[in-house]
């Protein structure tokens, strides 16, 4: 009977470990703010968020021949160019659907890429521009391999209030090697008249 006890305890322990596979990891982050640009670094990954002004985005897409009605709509959005690089030897999962955005304690609803692509379809935007726009968006879901770097724009409704981002990342092939949570305050939708370094943390 005594022999069974360690086995039983080991099984229980294993079960608990599997259940808690995605436990939150205690990770030290370095968060830097520089003229509205935000960079986060920890031992697992580096993350950059760069809010773009309407003029910047219009210039970018205008140079690619985007039609005026599409440019007008893009100007009204808050685009944040976001890039992630995996610095670890494990897989890191980015699933933007898990991220929460809020301003003044109220949720800010991110535009899913499908919502935007449906909008362009309704507006009968030529496929070429729909495709380019799609490729400039952040992947909705991606398993970053060691050393992999990918990114794209996160699209939010434009607001003058500072936005708080609660970002979540899962580690491991099956997302069971741990979870990393980061709270990023003071993400600001860049305005055309923004002076670098002023009015931003």
Partner 1 sequence: MKHLAPQKNYLLILLTMLALFCLSVTSANSSAADIKPPKGLLILKPEPAPDFKLADTDGKFTTLSASRNKWVFVHFWASWCGPCRKELPAIQKLIEKMKGTSLKIIMINTAETEDMIFNFFGKLGLDMPTLMDSDGQVTEQWKPRGLPVTILVDPAGNKRYMALGGRPWDSKAYLEFLHKLLKSKP
Token code pair at residue 167: 């970002």
What are φ and ψ of residue 92, in 5° steps? -120, 130
Conformational region of residue 61, where left means phi above 0, alpha means psi within -120 to 50, and beta covers everything else: alpha
Token code pair at residue 40: 């986060």
* Cβ proximity to partner 1, 145 vs 181, nearer residue: 145
Q: Which 3 state secondary structure label does DSSP give 8?
A: helix
* Cβ proximity to partner 1, 149 vs 181, nearer residue: 149
In this chain, which of 32, 35, 43, 64 binds partner 1, going by CB under 8 A?
64
Between 66 and 105, how does the x/- string for binding to partner 1 read (CB under 8 A)? ----------------------------------------
* Cβ proximity to partner 1, 136 vs 164, nearer residue: 136
In this chain, which of 45, 60, 93, 120 binds partner 1, going by CB under 8 A?
60
Cα 176 → chain centroid: 20
Task: Using CB under 8 A, count the residues that bind partner 1.
Answer: 23
Burial 21-56, CB ≥16 within 10 A → b, else e? beeeeeeebebebeebbbebbbebbebbbbbbbbee
**Residue pointed to by tokens 């990954």:** 45
Tell me the closest approach of the beta carbon of residue 53 to partner 1, in angstroms.
17
Q: Which of positions 110-169 make contact with partner 1 (CB under 8 A)?
A: 126-132, 134-136, 139, 142, 145-152
Applying CB under 8 A, the residues found at the interface with partner 1 are: 60, 64-65, 126-132, 134-136, 139, 142, 145-152
């Amino acid at each position: 009977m005594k022999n069974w006890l360690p086995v039983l305890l080991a099984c229980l322990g294993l079960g608990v470990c599997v259940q808690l596979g995605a436990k939150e990891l205690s990770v030290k982050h370095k968060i830097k703010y520089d003229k509205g640009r935000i960079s986060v670094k920890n031992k697992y990954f580096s993350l950059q968020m760069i809010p773009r002004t309407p003029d910047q985005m219009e210039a970018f897409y205008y140079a690619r021949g985007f039609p005026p009605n599409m440019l007008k709509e893009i100007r009204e959005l808050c685009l944040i160019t976001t890039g992630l690089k995996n610095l670890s030897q494990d897989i890191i999962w980015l699933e933007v659907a898990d991220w929460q955005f809020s301003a003044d304690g109220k949720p800010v609803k991110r535009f899913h890429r499908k919502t935007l692509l449906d909008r362009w379809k309704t507006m009968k935007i030529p496929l070429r521009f729909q495709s380019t726009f799609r490729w400039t968006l952040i992947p909705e879901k991606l398993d970053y391999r060691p050393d992999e770097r990918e990114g794209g724009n996160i699209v939010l409704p434009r607001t003058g209030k500072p936005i708080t981002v609660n970002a979540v990342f899962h580690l491991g092939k099956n997302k069971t090697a741990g979870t990393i949570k980061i709270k990023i305050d003071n993400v600001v939708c860049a305005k055309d008249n923004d002076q670098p370094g002023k009015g931003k943390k």
